[in-house]
Amino acid sequence: MSRIRIFDTTLRDGEQSPGVNLNKMEKLEIAKQLERLGVDVMEAGFPAASEGDFQAVKLIADTITNVSVTALARTRKEDIDRAYEALKNTPHPRIHVFLATSPIHMTYKLKMTPEQVTNQSVEMVKYAKERFPEVEWSAEDATRSDWPFLAQLIEHVIDAGATVINLPDTVGYTTPEEYGKMFKYMKENVPNIDRVDLSCHCHNDLGMAAANTMAAIENGATQVEGTINGIGERAGNVALEEVAVALKIRGDRYGFETGLKLDEIKRSSDLVAKLTGMYVQANKAIVGRNAYAHESGIHQDGVLKNAETYEIITPELVGVSSNTLFMGKHSGRHAFKDKVNAFGVEMTEEEIKAAFKNFKILTDHKREVTDDDIYTLIMEVKTEQSAIEKYTLETFQVNYGTQNITTATVSLNTPAGETIQTAATGNGSVEALYRTISELIDYDQKLLDYQINSVGGGKDALAESHVQLSVEGEAVNGRGTAQDVIEASANAYINAINRYIMKTQANKEQVVNG
């Protein structure tokens, strides 16, 4: 079969999802999992956007060795230079430059003529090629562009040194028939098109991202760009797991394959959902919890007799295992370490010690600890940035009843090493808890979003909470876990405050260091 290259943009386009704000350690853990998944290219970020994005891209580029790491840049020298500084130590660097080509973008956003867009694209591709062996050029809003103009422009940027041409459906506007015809047109009307990989990048505004992507593959695309779980701006991007499994299951129809390790899909999906706070809908294709569940009696009967009657995908294909080996309070550190190794997660002895301590605390309250529980505990340790003094939860108590005013009492340890305590009331346990914490912390705070989810099932399931706060006018995310949902909620709120402190300190250090 012919090979389709997978370009993952979870860390760039995916992180642009409203409400998502990953720290660099979280980005690094996602990057490591993408490497285990077997993507061909990962877009680590947009280095020119901020110092934090630059540092995250550089950390990933300095760490990842088996995957090509790329970064986004506008067609500007300063963006290209910034990307080069972030990527110069990675074994397989590439740059991704873009410029809009549709009449509406050129006229109203860029205020440039088609000739100016052509000249700037050619000049910046040449400049990028002096620094990068691989240069991808994207025609932003390609699907609303004039095809003859676009074909001529593509020919010029290929001559300038581009090695990949990307034709994105930036606003999710096109249909499968239209998108396929555009790729076919470029294959037939760009004389040097055979010198490059032709890439597709589909957004899901009209719910057609997967169908559009498959149409592009049928008509000459050799690279697919997308994200894990389909996260991204607005309605998101095409979900890479859907494309990869569709090519696998319908190999008879498409005749293409990817290099993805399909049994790493579920773990990749879970990690991205956990760290971004964007949980997967139950009926999501490939990775939703209902994807392999059968409620109808007719379906159940058919599956029991022959799974293929209603299951076209086996759960094991994408890494969903029904044979979970539970661990409990009598499990030792050696067994715990073996489990960490089985996940493929690299941990220092100190990290294993911290995660194992949290595991033993959990086993005091939960008889059987699942793989999902352990993975959550591991990620809590791996993604925690502990280089600052921070607020920690000492004790809390919430008095709640249908006939009583809800009251919360909270005791916190401060970054200065003091212990502070107060009480407050609210309309419900979480409001009382958060009002109490906010009174103890001397920042202007506003709760923007709150979520609570269970890790796995059962009445003793581990709780995981995500919040988004506005702290001094800046949006920050927080994540916390505990067996008790109220404690998980408190941990998430305090985690958001600590992230704000860390970000503020990093900004101050940047100013001091020039």
Per-residue pLDDT tens digits for 208-240: 999 999 999 999 999 999 999 999 999 999 999
- Name the nearest CA neighbour of 505 among 112, 51, 109: 51
| Mean pLDDT confidence for 50-64 | 96
Residue 308: per-residue pLDDT: 64
| pLDDT value at residue 141 | 98
Tokens (6 digits) for 311: 């299951």
Tens of pLDDT, residue by residue over 348-357, are 999 999 999 9
Mean pLDDT of all residues in 143-166? 98
Whether the per-residue pLDDT at 294 is higher than 80: the answer is no
pLDDT value for 370: 83
**49: CB partners within 8 A, 6+ apart:** none
Distance in angstroms between the alpha carbons of the first and the last residue of the chain: 53
- Per-residue pLDDT of 254-285, as tens digits, reads 999 999 999 999 999 999 999 999 999 999 99
Calculate what percentage of the chain has a pLDDT beyond 70: 94
For the chain, give every domain's residue range: 2-276, 327-385, 392-513
CATH superfamily entry for domain 392-513: Alpha-isopropylmalate synthase LeuA, regulatory domain (3.30.160.270)
Query: Residue 330: its pLDDT value, please?
Result: 76
C-alpha–C-alpha distance, residues 46 and 58, integer Å: 11
State percent of the chain over pLDDT 90.
Answer: 77
Decide whether 2-276 matches 392-513 in CATH topology: no
Local structure of 197: helix, strand or coil:
strand
State yes or no: 203 annotated in a binding site: yes
- 107: which DSSP letter? I
Span 84-105, average pLDDT: 98
Total Cβ atoms within 10 A of residue 111: 8
Q: What is the pLDDT of residue 325?
A: 55
Residue 13 marked ligand-binding: yes
Question: Is 237 marked as a binding-site residue?
Answer: yes
pLDDT on residue 448? 96
- Give me the chain's average pLDDT, please: 92
CA–CA distance, 374 with 43 (Å, rounded to integer): 28
406-432 tens-digit pLDDT: 999 999 999 999 999 999 999 999 999
What is the pLDDT at residue 298?
Answer: 47
Scan for tokens 């995250």, then name that residue.
Answer: 56
Of 86 and 460, which is predicted with more confidence? 86
Is the pLDDT at 186 greater than 80, yes or no?
Answer: yes
Q: What is the enclosing helix (H) or strand (E) of 166?
A: strand 164-169
- pLDDT over threshold 90, residue 89: yes
Helices and strands, number each (H, E), in the chain: 17, 16
Lowest mean pLDDT across 185-194, 367-376, 405-414: 367-376
Assign 299 a pLDDT band (cuts: 50, 70, 90).
very low
Residue 81 vs residues 28, 132, 340: alpha-carbon distances, Å: 22, 11, 39
Q: Binding residue per annotation — 156?
A: no
In the predicted model, is pLDDT for residue 138 greater than 70? Answer: yes
Please tell me the CATH superfamily of domain 2-276, with its number: Aldolase class I (3.20.20.70)
